Amino acid sequence: MTNLKPERVFYYFKQISDVPRGSGNCRGIALYCRNFAINHNLKYIKDDANNVVIFKDGTKGYENSEPVILQGHTDMVCQKTENVTTDFINRGIELFVDGDFLKAKQTTLGADNGIAVAMILAILESDNIPHPPIEAVFTSDEEIGLIGAGALDKSVLTAKKMINLDSEEDDTVTVSCAGGCHFLAKTPVEYQEKNGTKITITLKGLKGGHSGVEINNNRVNADTLAGRFLNHIKNTSDFDIININGGDKDNAIPNKCIIELCVADVDLFIKNAEEYLNIIKAEISDREGDFAFTFDVGEKASYKVLSDEIKNKLIFALTCVPNGVLEMSSEIKDLVQTSLNLGILKIEDNLLSLHFGLRSNKKSGLSFLIEKLVTFFDSVHWETETNGHYPPWEYKDDSQLREIYKDAYKEYFGKEPKVEAIHAGLECGVFADAIDGIDCISIGPALYDVHTVNEKLSISSTENVFNILLKILEKMK
């Protein structure tokens, strides 16, 4: 096979960049893909969720080869700088080249995952690329919960091999990802009146981070740290809880927690609290060097505070609930297999709630984690519920597609690629859950600062990955 320059890839990327396609606004890009199929006399299916599947027969000599799914998602995360008035609903984005990088003018680029769509369209258009029968799957609304992939009727697909093009490192093939769900524990709040002085303690300056990518980096969780602090200080000072709030996303490690207390002896409380928080600060300084705490002393008055029962159960829960990495994989080196993150702690509308993000690269691991939390919160008589479930993509020990990729990569670069699993979600998990025995890999060109206005795509990397993809297709005879 002759290496091809990806001019048509960038042609199609420019075309789809002219189409507004933020998450939740995928009808226009779905119609673009449908019209592409019509104009190229290709069979297609478009569903009500704005997913599009385009079918293309195998080229000469590949007519009877096993089909392959080429898959990417059509939606993008829309961010812009403060001084830009771009209308993401009605207008596309403006591209420009900066050296080896393709960028967008003061907005996200949308190469996550528009470059996958562009690569697949370039292959579908071509009449001189050898390939097996292709089932090109363009899914909608991936960025807001893998919605399109979940809604797609998988029975329209016959292929048992799938190449997902939503990875961001060109020297790496991804072979497994985590599944997960949102877990909520809640209880109605009971109040009592107490006289005292209001003190607001702010725990801040922690690193935080993504609960999948950073969960194994010893990042301190501000909400569980608040539990540690309150559990200790109750032994030396009297206090009641007026309010407590930490974190705003269950998939982000909270880096700040604000605790509002009512105390009787202000000087004694601050002395004991400052002493213990300085002990914590010294303990975590090697990994959380910017951790800080502040005290804001308010008025002496009568305050509505949590009942003793709710206060004690909250402190118990924050201190003892599991959090962070629970199990490492025995199959893949350095892979977190099961974890959870307490991402949101709040009292709102007379309801105390703890919101967790759960992840596991094993179905059974995720199920047990849910059972563990339900059992824990049953002990304090709190209600629990789960939602937003997405399945894991479990590692396949005998993947033929992974070996084909490794051969193609080695032929192209003269070295072995990295093989990795990730503790985050990919659409491969949805397809693996629905199609028994499917063999998946995920690859993609080098992308940087995705989901930000600094997002950029390496042009040379795109060329390399496109040519490796063509090599893979050629080997699937």
**Residue 116, helix vs strand vs coil:** helix
Amino acid at position 416, single letter: E
Q: List all residues 6 or more positions away from 377 whose beta carbon is below 8 Å from its beta carbon.
A: 185, 317, 383, 384
Provide the annotated active-site residues: 75, 142
**Residue 50, helix vs strand vs coil:** coil
Residue count of the chain: 477
What whole-number distance in Å separates Cα of residue 416 and Cα of residue 36?
36
Cα-to-chain-centroid distance, residue 390: 11
Element (H, E) at 28: helix 27-39
What whole-number distance in Å separates Cα of residue 32 and Cα of residue 20?
11
Q: List all residues 6 or more positions away from 283 whose beta carbon is below 8 Å from its beta carbon.
A: none
**Residue 272, helix vs strand vs coil:** helix
Per DSSP, 79 falls in state -
Cis preceding linkage at 243, omega within 30: no
DSSP string, 298-351: EEEEEEEEE-HHHHHHHHHHHHHS--EEEEE-SSSTT-EEEEEEEEEEEEETTE
Q: Give whole-number Cα distances, 244 to 25, 60, 306, 351, 451, in Å.
A: 36, 66, 10, 12, 30
